[in-house]
């Protein structure tokens, strides 16, 4: 079975998973606490970077800062890749590439329209030929806005689902035909994005299937995931929980998000990371930028593969202008 067309039908309930690895259960492993159908270590999870004593918040700990009023119940969102860190233990040579697909889907309809999806496909050159070295996280800093035709991601009711899939592979023959990398005498772009804004679920599945069929042999999976349903406003959170405190809901605020593999959760949480935005990387509290960039041996984040996303959101009424 292909990677990009797989696991799209069933949602991953991250908030429920978080409840099973609460501090009182830390004497057990993540996988002993998690439900049997969500034990895949390559399943991606979302975390919110925060100030204060707790630097990283679980989605079930996030209290939405946006209200979601009756006048403006919906969300327009813009997403930027701030960095994509490939673990130092990953084998990278001149021909090593990565292909990703980020999907954001609506959970509610706008009027009589179908639920729409925003599909972003990316090519990452993991080796910087000009510097003769592995690419750095900051090399993959890029906004998705242009790839989506300068259109925002619109989420009715302030609710949406997100999935991330990433594979590593050698350079295939179709690479330069699909992804366009700008190049000058001094530098070469290492990250190319192609977006499909506001398309149906059927169209997304077709794109994913075609992407799978481009590979002659199975690529190495870095992230292979089921979508996560999220609320982005207080109203959306209340709707999803049904007013029950025992009904765990995943939420995220504007700001910086981490996309990490489930198997790396404990490392992220226990190291109390700080974020060096100029480099798009995490470091443990107290580590300076030089050691963080150098992937020093005492940096627990060196061997972790993760993405940093910056999210900007605005409350809107998407029904305005509809017939």
What pLDDT digit, counting tens, does each position of 14-70 carry? 998 888 875 544 443 333 333 333 457 788 899 999 987 888 999 999 999 999 999
**Residue range 274-287: average pLDDT?**
91
Say how far residue 240 (Cα) sits from the centre of its chain: 21
Domain span at residue 138 reads 14-316
- Total structural domains within the chain: 1
Q: Cα dihedral sign for 207, 211, 212, 213? A: positive
Q: Is 295 strand, coil or helix?
A: coil
CA-nearest of 278, 273, 265, 219 to 90 is: 219
DSSP 8-state symbol, 146: T
Residue 25 is predicted with a pLDDT of: 46
Q: Note whether residue 71 is domain-resident.
A: yes
Residue pLDDT, tens place only, 65-79: 999 999 999 999 999
Residue 34 is predicted with a pLDDT of: 34
- CB 200 within 8 Å of CB 114: yes
For residue 196, give every residue at least 6 positions away whose Cβ sits within 8 Å of its Cβ, in sequence order, or none: 117, 118, 119, 120, 121, 148, 203, 204, 207
Q: Note whether residue 245 is domain-resident.
A: yes
Q: Note whether residue 225 is domain-resident.
A: yes
Q: Note whether residue 202 is domain-resident.
A: yes
Between CA 47 and CA 52, with CA 50 as vertex, the angle to 5 degrees is 140
Residue pLDDT, tens place only, 123-159: 999 999 888 889 999 999 999 999 999 999 999 999 9
Q: Note whether residue 6 is domain-resident.
A: no
Instruction: Compare 9 and 83 and report the one with higher pLDDT.
Output: 83
> Which residues of the chain form beta strands (DSSP E)?
44-49, 56-57, 74-85, 96-106, 117-125, 127-128, 133-134, 142-143, 153-155, 159-170, 191-199, 220-223, 228-231, 255-261, 273-276, 281-284, 306-316
Residue 56 is predicted with a pLDDT of: 93
**What percentage of the chain exceeds 90 in pLDDT?**
53
Residue 38 is predicted with a pLDDT of: 41
Q: What is the CA radius of gyration of the chain?
A: 19
Residue 9 is predicted with a pLDDT of: 67
- Alpha-carbon distance of 221 to 100, in angstroms, equals 10
Q: Note whether residue 62 is domain-resident.
A: yes
Instruction: Compare 96 and 33 and report the one with higher pLDDT.
Output: 96
Residue 188 is predicted with a pLDDT of: 73
- Mean pLDDT score across all residues of the chain: 86
pTM score, whole prediction: 0.89
Residue 321 is predicted with a pLDDT of: 62
Q: Note whether residue 308 is domain-resident.
A: yes
Instruction: Compare 32 and 165 and report the one with higher pLDDT.
Output: 165
For residue 6, give every residue at least 6 positions away whose Cβ sits within 8 Å of its Cβ, in sequence order, or none: 224
Residue pLDDT, tens place only, 222-249: 988 789 999 999 999 999 998 777 788 9
- Alpha-carbon distance of 266 to 32, in angstroms, equals 14
Q: Cα dihedral sign for 123, 126, 130, 136? A: positive
Q: Note whether residue 9 is domain-resident.
A: no
């Amino acid at each position: 079975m292909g990677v990009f067309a797989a696991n799209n039908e069933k949602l991953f309930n991250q908030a429920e998973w978080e409840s099973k690895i609460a501090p009182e259960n830390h004497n057990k492993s993540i996988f002993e606490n998690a439900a049997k159908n969500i034990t895949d270590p390559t399943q991606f999870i979302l975390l919110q970077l925060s100030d204060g004593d707790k630097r990283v918040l679980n989605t079930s700990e996030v209290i939405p800062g946006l209200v979601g009023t009756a006048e403006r119940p919906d969300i327009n969102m813009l997403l930027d890749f701030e960095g994509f860190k490939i673990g130092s233990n990953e084998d990278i040579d001149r021909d090593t590439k990565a292909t990703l697909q980020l999907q954001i889907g609506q959970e509610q309809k706008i009027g009589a329209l179908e639920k729409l999806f925003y599909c972003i496909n990316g090519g990452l050159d993991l080796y910087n030929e000009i510097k003769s070295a592995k690419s750095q996280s900051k090399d993959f800093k890029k906004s998705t806005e242009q790839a989506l035709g300068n259109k925002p991601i619109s989420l009715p009711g302030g609710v949406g689902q997100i999935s991330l899939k990433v594979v590593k592979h050698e350079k295939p023959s179709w690479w330069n035909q699909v992804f366009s990398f700008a190049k000058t005498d001094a530098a070469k772009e290492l990250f190319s994005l192609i977006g499909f804004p506001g398309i149906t679920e059927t169209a997304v599945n077709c794109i994913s299937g075609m992407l799978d069929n481009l590979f002659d042999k199975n690529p190495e999976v870095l992230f292979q995931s089921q979508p996560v349903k999220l609320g982005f406003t207080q109203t959306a959170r209340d709707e999803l929980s049904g007013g029950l405190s025992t009904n765990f809901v995943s939420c995220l605020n504007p700001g910086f998000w981490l996309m990490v593999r489930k198997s790396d959760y404990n490392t992220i949480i226990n190291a109390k990371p700080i974020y060096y935005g100029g480099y798009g990387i995490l470091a443990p509290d107290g580590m300076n930028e030089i050691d963080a960039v150098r992937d020093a041996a005492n940096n627990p984040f060196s061997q972790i593969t993760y993405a940093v996303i910056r999210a900007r959101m605005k409350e809107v009424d998407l029904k305005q202008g509809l017939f």
